[in-house]
Amino acid sequence: MSRRYFGTDGIRGEVGEGPITPDFMLKLGWACGRVFAARAECEGRARVIIGKDTRVSGYMFESALEAGLVAAGVDVTLLGPMPTPAVALMTRTFDAAAGIVISASHNPFHDNGIKFFSAQGTKLPDECELAIEAELDRDIKTVGSRDIGKVTRLEDAAGRYIEFCKSTTHRQFSLRGMRIVVDCAHGATYAIAPAVLRELGAEVTAIGVQPDGFNINEGVGSTDTAALSERVRELNADLGIAYDGDGDRVMFIDADGSQVDGDELLYIIATYRLARGKSCPGVVGTLMSNLGLELALKDHGLGFVRAKVGDRYVKEMMDANGWNLGGESSGHIICSDLTTTGDGIVASLQVLAAMKLADASLAELRAGMKKFPQTMINVRAAGKVDLAAFPAVQDAVQAVESELGNSGRVLLRPSGTEPVVRVMVEGEHKPQVDTLCADLASRVEKILA
C-alpha cells in the first residue's frame, strides 16, 4: 500500500492546510490510539507520550491529539516543549506504547508536523504506519466512559533528560575552561542544552533561547549559523554549537567562525572512538554525504556505506551492518550505542569529548578530513515529483556528469519534508561546482514549471 499521509519523517505541512488541521489531528490521535492500544506489550491500559517544540500551533495540535487518544481509550502523558530525542527516551523510560512529537523540525513556524516513536524509541515500522492510515478511513467511535483515557503531565521531564545527556559521556568528563556559544533556534532545546553544558562546567553564552511561538529557526539554529558565527568571533569563544528547532540536529562553529557540518562531526566522532579503543568498524552516511568523509574514514581503515536520505534509512542500514554510528551532513547524527535516535545534544557531547581527549581544537580535529566542494540548491516543486517522468531532467544530469568526469558526482532528490527538489553537485573545484549546480538547478526549475 502507498502512504497518503506519512512521509520519510512522519506527517508534515503548512498549518491550516490538510492534513495539518485540528480536525485531522483529532482523527489521527484516535487512529493512533486504536493501533497503539492493540499493539501495546505493557500490562493494563496503553500509554502514549506527547512532546512538542515551541511553535504556537503546537498547543492546538497537542489538545486535538490528546482528545483523540483518550477517546480511543489510551492514557496520555504530556511533556510540554521537549527535544524530539527526549520523547524517544521518555517513551522507553515509562514503558509507553508509543511517543508522539509535534514538530516541523528545522522548518519555519507556519509549518508543523507529527513524528512517532515505537515503544523501543525507534521510528515506527512501515506496517504500523499503514495500520494507522487504515484506521483513518473509519469513523471515530469513542470508548465507553469508564474506558476513556486519562491525561497527566510529567513535571520533571527536562531534569530527567538533562541527566541522561550528561550520562552519555565518560566519568569525570568536564568542560571546565571551555567557552561555548550555544544557539537553540528558539526551539525545544532552549532550556535544556545550556543547562547540560553549564552543569558539565563550560562557560556558556546562549542565543536563540527566547521562543515566542513564531521565531523558531528564524535567523538562528543549525540551518542558519551566521548569527552564531558572529557571536563566536565577537566573544573569542572556543566554539559554537547550533541545534535545530526540535533538537535532533547539530552543527558546530569553529573558533574562526567557520561551520563544521554533520559529515565532519561524524569523522571526529568516529576517530574519537578509535582513539578510545571502542569498536567502530564503519559509519553509515547518505547519498548526500561528502566524498571527503568516505575517503577520510577509509584512511583510518573504517568502512563507509550510503543510505537513502532520511534518518530512518540511516538507522536501518546501521542495524543491517551491525554498526553504531551514522548520520547526515545536515547534522542528524545517531550514536545507537548511546540512544535510539538522532540526538543533537548527545552528538555534540561526543564531539566535545573528542576535543578533550585529544587536547585539540575543533580545527585540528577536522583537519584530517578534506571536504570536496559541494553545492546544493533547492528547486521549488508542486508537491511530490517523480523525476523519472521527466527525461529532460535526466539528460541535464548526464550532461553535468560528463563534464565532471570521474572527479565528481550529481544528485537530484525530491525532499521528503518540503515541496522542493534538492539539486546537488560535488567536485574538486568549487568555481566549477557552483556554476554547474546553478545551471542545472535553473534547467530543472524550467523543466518542472
Residue 186 lies in a domain: yes
pLDDT in tens, 135-190: 999 999 999 999 999 999 999 999 999 999 999 998 889 999 999 999 999 999 99
How many other C-beta atoms can be found within 10 angstroms of the C-beta atom of residue 321? Answer: 15
pLDDT in tens, 350-371: 999 999 999 999 999 999 999 9
Look at strands 111-118 and 11-14 and give their pairing.
antiparallel
- Average pLDDT on 7-23 reads 93
CB 201 within 8 A of CB 169: no
pLDDT attached to residue 42: 61
The total number of structural domains in the chain stands at: 4
Same domain, 170 and 41: no
How far from the centroid of its chain's Cα atoms is residue 399's Cα?
33
What's the CATH number where 231 sits?
A: 3.40.120.10
Residue 380 lies in a domain: yes
Residue 16 lies in a domain: yes
Residue 384 has pLDDT above 90, yes or no: no
CB 254 within 8 A of CB 323: no
Same domain, 112 and 239: no
Name the active-site residue from 2, 63, 103, 105: 105
How far from the centroid of its chain's Cα atoms is residue 262's Cα?
11
| C-alpha cell at position 12 | 508534515
Element (H, E) at 260: strand 259-260
**42 φψ region: left (φ > 0), alpha (ψ -120 to 50), beta (else):** beta
Domain boundary among 155, 170, 192: 155
Residue 194 lies in a domain: yes
Same domain, 232 and 301: no
- What CA–CA distances, in Å, run from 176 to 8, 96, 203? 40, 37, 7
Residue 1 lies in a domain: no
Containing domain of residue 310, as a range? 260-344+354-366
Model pTM? 0.90
Backbone phi and psi for residue 25, each to the nearest 5 degrees, phi listed first: -65, -35
In sequence order, what DSSP letters do the residues of 176-209 get, joined into one string? Answer: TT-EEEEE-TTSTTTTTHHHHHHHTT-EEEEES-
Burial code (b: 16+ CB inside 10 Å, e: under 16) for 359-395 equals eeebeebbeebebbbbbebebebeeebebeeeeebee
Residue 57 catalytic? no
Same domain, 22 and 52: yes
pLDDT in tens, 208-263: 999 999 999 999 999 999 999 999 999 999 999 999 999 999 999 999 999 999 99
